[in-house]
Amino acid sequence: MEEDMRSNTTVMLLERLVECAKDGWQKQLAFHQLGVVMLERKEYKDAQHWFEAAVEAGHVYSLVGVARAKFKRGHTYSAYKIMNSLISDHKPVGWMYQERSLYCVGKEKMMDLMAATELDPILSFPYKYRATALLEDNMIGASISEINKIIGFKVSPDCLELRAWFLIAKGNYEGALRDVRAILTLESNYMMFYGNMPGGYLVELLSPVVRHSSQADCWMQLYDRWSSVDDIGSLAVVHQMLENDPGRSLLHFRQSLLLLRLNCQKAAMRSLRLARNHSTSDHERLVYEGWILYDTGHREEALAKAEESISVQRSFEAYFLKAYALADSNLDAESSKIVIKLLEEALRCPSDGLRKGQALNNLGSVYVDCDKLDLAADCYMNALNIKHTRAHQGLARARNNASAYEKRSEYCDRDMAKSDLTMATELDPLRTYPYRYRAAVLMDDHREAEAIAELSRAIDFKPDLQLLHLRAAFYDSMGDYVSTVRDCEAALCLDPSHGDTLELCNKARERIKE
């Protein structure tokens, strides 16, 4: 399905899947997937048949497929009624309102899209639709502001493409070129303009009307943009540098770091593999292999690669990788000493300010955890001196950065903290700390139902380990042990070895037996 959803081979395989399905859940899955493929092939009558079969087998979600197929066959009101019933009969979530919005117009459509965003702020379609509607009313600035809301916390090629067209309409060709370069970093063969124009061709069209930068200029731009937490701009600069020097492993590595920061794991892994393939020395190759292992969950193997690299040649990246991998666990006093020593060794090795700033910032964090606050302050000041702005939240806050508001809330009174965390949630709904903080405050005030509701808001669109564990703990304190076990089991699906959740789950099961 990923390679070619419309192919006859895909249909043949899914038809065999239907024949082999025995249990109820197998039939639901097989029928639904066949419906999806038929919808993609524009065989709407067959799509409706398979979605209805899935619904009959108990797959309620396939009602959405029935509605979509009916809409494509011209039965808009029938599709609207299906979604209306779904919202009435079940706990409504964002995607339901988004889907219903497809089958209505005007104010009703806008109200559904607003409800979708309120319930699930990470759905991209509502932002894209509102932004396009604003553009049609010749409000280009407002349309860019609307699409910026989601790009601020969820980077995707389709949203970046939309912003690029808006920027072209505004005459901001430099901004448009930045976004197209970022798109091509995420998907190198991306086709723009409804799949009719290769992204690379648009780069060719825009480049002559934008000031040319040499490789040296690009390094300066990268330093400035990276330091000022402009991740999209940094991606664009690296993309341009790789055009000039495609075999530079360091650039592929930098690209992977930016992509990881933007939660684009698949693209980041592709860049990391390219860094490994283009490495010109054994110690460099071992470091990149270590990062690949670390990012795929093989921590011990990553540590071994870092140690092997150090044995070949001492380098900043090898020490940093080893320190980073060791720090990714509950550090005791002895482990903290080792991490500190490794980061100090890293800082003695040659590197540039961007990476040394990161090491100083990490070292400061370890010192804070060890209650060595003077040493931590020195690290942060040294990081600031080389423009590492992630050690300093002032510039980030000036750029309306969610992490800055979250960080400042730690040093405020309760009312100010709540205000900062509300702003953090508006800027980036994916950050879980604000929800957990607000829920904990409500729980302290004995407003249990509101505390559960606050956590549930986030869990509905992001089932995060910490959120699920905290809600389980709240249920436990309220004596609702069945709900405690349910949330613990969900959390353990994300991390089966999470000790606190295992302990809470076992205690709740014992209480249910009692």
Tokens of 417: 């903290």
Nearest to 455 by CA among 466, 445, 444, 446: 466
Q: Across residues 360-386, what is the average pLDDT?
A: 86
Q: Across residues 309-332, what is the average pLDDT?
A: 90
Asked whether residue 406 carries a pLDDT value surpassing 50, the answer given is: yes
DSSP string, 132-201: HHHHHTT-HHHHHHHHHHHHTT---HHHHHHHHHHHHHHT-HHHHHHHHHHHHHH-TT-EETTTTEEHHH
Largest CA distance in the chain: 75
pTM of the model: 0.83
Instruction: Report residue 401's pLDDT band, with 50, 70 and 90 as the boundaries.
Output: low
Q: Residue 198 pairs with which residues in a beta bridge?
A: 191
Rounded Cα distance between 456 and 454, Å, is 5
Residue range 21-40, pLDDT digits in tens: 998 999 999 999 999 999 99
Considering Cα of 210, then 211, then 214, then 220, what sign does the dihedral take? negative
Predicted local distance difference test score (pLDDT) of residue 452: 96
Q: Tokens 């988004």 map to which residue?
A: 98
Count of other CB atoms within 10 angstroms of residue 332: 8
Contact 370, 333 (CB under 8 A): yes
Q: Residue 192 pairs with which residues in a beta bridge?
A: 197
Predicted local distance difference test score (pLDDT) of residue 137: 94
Nearest to 268 by CA among 278, 256, 258: 256
Asked whether residue 95 carries a pLDDT value surpassing 80, the answer given is: yes
Residues 6+ apart with CB under 8 A from 376: 364, 365, 367, 368
